[in-house]
Amino acid sequence: MFALLISLPMMVCLFWGIYFLIHTTRPDNEPRVTRLLVAFFAAATILYLDHWLYFSGIFVTTGEWSYGVVNLCVYPLYYAYLRALTRARSNWEIPILLLPALVSAVLFPINRWGGILSDNTLFLFTRACFSLQVVWVLVRGYMLLLQTIHRMDNTYSDDRSRLLQPTYISLILFGVTSAVSMVLNAFGRDYFAHETLVLVPALVMAVLLYGLGFVAAHTVIPMDTVADENDSEEATPEETKDLIHAIDAVMREKMLFTNPNLTIQDLAMAVNSNRTYVSNAINRAYHISFSQYVARQRVAYAQLILRDPRYQSDKAAINDAITLSGFNSEQTFYRAFKEITRTTPLNYRKNY
């Protein structure tokens, strides 16, 4: 029974690794995202396999080596998954985060054969690197989500940031898991050699890892949802001024905001420009995002409908205000209307 309980973190990671391996080619998500989840849970499975062997009293020659190396791979792999999920470009962070694992992979066998460093020195090195990885991944992961929401708001007129809500939950779970891992790493595995003590972290980690996998399995961001990062050069202030006049005119005359699926690319095509120029022009002129700009246009048009005396029913006026002004849901309409006008649609209609 004891052996079964302490194997739970390993079994949970193995379960999710197999699950994501089976779902690697699911059509509703990018394969790279799922492959990185497979890599993350595969590394976590090896990590907790080492734990299980160690606390079961099964001696493996390479146990300390694999534990030290894989422990330094898990967090970089999770961060790589976050970057793939949010369509962030590859950069220097992942190789740098994986560098301690590579150094450990070389140092452990050299030290075993040559005795260059003491075991305590290697222990401190791996723990210090692990702690830095945890802090880096959590802080940068949160910043990455904020940057992604900003890109969404400057690309799409509808609120797609809600799709990242599960990822926030995942990051919170990952943070809790990280805190527990850091505490356990600070004590070291030998501290939990007693059967009763080792069951506590085993059960806690099993629950947290299952939650992490469950949230990741239910986080689906379609490939067209997050626009790729764009490094096009910016327009001059004079070009920006002319462009914002053209944007306002085409939005007013063609009423593009009534399209629930309007994107920055649609607006850019309408004014014969590119999406970066258009996005920057709106940001500079009005200090708001593209989605906020469109929301203002939609709310202004909804106000006209709500003031229309031909509507005998409040419900009919509100329903038409939602559909005709381009909102794709009642919830989004009410939230945007209240945020912009500081009142509800019903109160606004009654006052006018």
What CATH number has the domain bearing residue 77?
A: 1.20.1070.10
Do 49 and 110 sit in the same domain of this protein? yes
Taking residues 101-112, what's their average pLDDT? 81
Do 96 and 162 sit in the same domain of this protein? yes
> What's 341's domain CATH number?
1.10.10.60
Do 151 and 252 sit in the same domain of this protein? no
Is the pLDDT confidence value at 98 over 90? yes
pTM: 0.76
Do 201 and 244 sit in the same domain of this protein? no
Within-domain flag for 241: yes
Do 34 and 129 sit in the same domain of this protein? yes
Structure confidence at residue 231 (pLDDT): 47
The average confidence (pLDDT) of the chain is 82
Within-domain flag for 37: yes
203 or 12, greater pLDDT: 12
Share of the chain above pLDDT 90, in %: 29
Is the pLDDT confidence value at 161 over 80? no
Do 16 and 164 sit in the same domain of this protein? yes
Do 13 and 154 sit in the same domain of this protein? yes
Within-domain flag for 121: yes
From residue 280, alpha-carbon distances to 44, 47, 263, 266, 273 in Å are 42, 46, 14, 15, 12
pLDDT band of 167, cuts 50, 70, 90: confident
Count of beta carbons in the 10 Å neighbourhood of residue 286: 13
Of 198-207, 242-251, 267-276, the one with minimum mean pLDDT is 198-207
76 or 88, greater pLDDT: 76
Runs of H (alpha helix) within the chain: 2-6, 8-22, 31-55, 63-71, 74-85, 93-114, 119-153, 165-187, 195-217, 237-254, 264-270, 275-286, 290-307, 314-324, 330-341, 345-351
Within-domain flag for 222: no
Nearest to 69, CA basis, from 118, 111, 20: 111
Token pair of 156 as six digits: 């799409």
Share of the chain above pLDDT 70, in %: 85
Structure confidence at residue 24 (pLDDT): 73
Is the pLDDT confidence value at 95 over 90? yes
pLDDT band of 223, cuts 50, 70, 90: low
**To the nearest 10°, the Cα dihedral for 10, 14, 16, 19?**
-170
Do 259 and 112 sit in the same domain of this protein? no
Is the pLDDT confidence value at 226 over 80? no
Within-domain flag for 172: yes
Domain that residue 58 falls in: 2-217
Number of domains in the chain: 2
Within-domain flag for 265: yes
